[in-house]
Amino acid sequence: MSVLVLRALGIGDLATAVPALRGLRGARPTEEIMLAAPGWLAPLADLTGAVDRVVPVDSLRVRTVPVAPPQLAVNLHGRGPQSHRLLARLRPAELMAYANPAAGFLDGPRWEQDEHEVHRWCRLLAWYGIAAHPTDLDLHTPVRRGDPMGATIVHPGSKDPARRWSPRGFAEVARALSASGHHVVVTGGPGERPVATLVTRLAGLPDSANLAGCTDLGELAALVADARLLVSGDTGIAHLATGYGTPSVVLFGPVPPAWWGPPPGRPWHQVLWHGEHAGRPGASTATGAHPALAAVTVDEVLEAVDRALAAGDEQVAQLAAPGRDEPVGYRHAATP
């Protein structure tokens, strides 16, 4: 008996699907749960504690998924029809997905655009009678491999140009944090090495602070899990901070925090978004930061840093107090 879940996207997409994956694991405890996703996401899939193996699928352009027909296929990828059709070609005994007449699939709930990504997939499973809890976002702690402990991470990159705040802004924040005693490192993927180099140089940091392209996903997760603070745009690493309860300041642009931000009630995660400049929330721009992101100032970021760290310190104090319950979502990652 097997369950195949389609989520052939990126880090943040997988992280926001963790509650749904855990719901499936709880509902099907003895069955193999396979995740159809890019192979490089396998370390993060392991850290969910809900996936038995990753079936490498880089996009919906593939003709099929290389598995035997599963007992259950679950579309956590999108509204369809392409993702629906990809799973239907596997001839699963059962398919769970949002209703999509274009794909010939009339079962399932109706897709709602204005909905947080975490709640979207929990609602899908609830329609099929499977309980999934939107706050169940914690990730297992990865094995450390020499990553710097207690670092403050500045992550200036994003695949979407509209989600990239000014490199000079990130550099000013990094310089101010370094001057106040933070051990600042700059992260990013291999393709983000140039912007990370620029931020590192403008901030007056040593070349060794530039870790862009130097960490795989498991190492990046370990870095975030032990970090003092993360400052980033609305991109995948921000969801790792949520999963590890690492204080964070996340800058939003074309997409509102109500769709992709950290859960409410966790003040150690601060979001900045000038929604008055947003226009259509889902819109993007060809070049440059979205107006709702470009309007964020360095002073706003540094003030948000103070709030996030103060809230984190308060939670640490509460954890140390005798007889106090541990707050959900703060340094509450289980070790596999």
Residue 85's pLDDT is what?
96
Residue 23 · residue 310 · CB < 8 Å: no
Query: For 125-130, which contacts have Cβ atoms below 8 Å and span 24 or more sequence positions?
Result: 125/20, 125/23, 125/24, 125/27, 125/74, 125/96, 128/96, 130/23, 130/24, 130/26, 130/27
**What is the C-alpha to C-alpha distance for residues 20 and 195, in angstroms, rounded to an integer?**
35
pLDDT at residue 332, as a whole number:
47
Check the CA dihedral 236-238-241-245 and report its sign: negative
Given this model, what pLDDT does residue 335 score? 40
Q: What is the DSSP string of 22-89?
A: HHHHHHSTTSEEEEEE-GGGHHHHHHHT--SEEEE--STTSS--SSPPPSEEEE-S-S-SHHHHHHHT
Using only C-alpha atoms, the chain has a radius of gyration, in whole angstroms, of 20
Provide the edge-to-edge strand list for the sheet that holds 72-75.
53-56, 32-37, 2-6, 72-75, 94-96
Yes or no: say if 136 and 22 are a contact pair by the CB < 8 Å rule. yes
Q: What are the structure tokens assigned to 57, written together?
A: 């699928």
For residue 83, report the phi and psi dihedrals to the nearest 5 degrees: -70, -35
What distance in Å separates the CA atoms of residue 107 and residue 118, rounded to the nearest whole number? 21
Low-confidence residues in the chain, pLDDT < 70: 146-147, 280-287, 320, 322-336
> 260 phi and psi, to 5 degrees?
-135, 5
Which of 327, 306, 303 minimizes the C-alpha distance to 316?
Answer: 327
Q: Per the structure block, which two tokens stand in for 192?
A: 């983000």
Residue type, 105: F
pLDDT digits (tens, 9 = 90+) for 122-140: 999 999 999 999 999 999 9
Residue 145, pLDDT score: 72
> What confidence tens digit (pLDDT) does each residue in 284-327 have?
555 589 999 999 999 999 999 999 999 998 888 777 676 655 55
Cβ burial, residue 45 (10 Å; 0-12/13-18/19+): buried
Question: For 162-195, what is each residue's pLDDT tens digit?
Answer: 999 999 999 999 999 999 999 999 999 999 999 9
Q: 254 near 285, Cβ under 8 Å? A: yes
Contact 93, 31 (CB under 8 A): no
Angstrom CA distances, 16 to 184, 204, 237, 330, stand at 27, 35, 12, 17
Phi/psi at 45 (5° precision): -60, -40
Q: Is there a cis peptide before residue 81, judged by omega within 30 degrees of 0?
A: yes
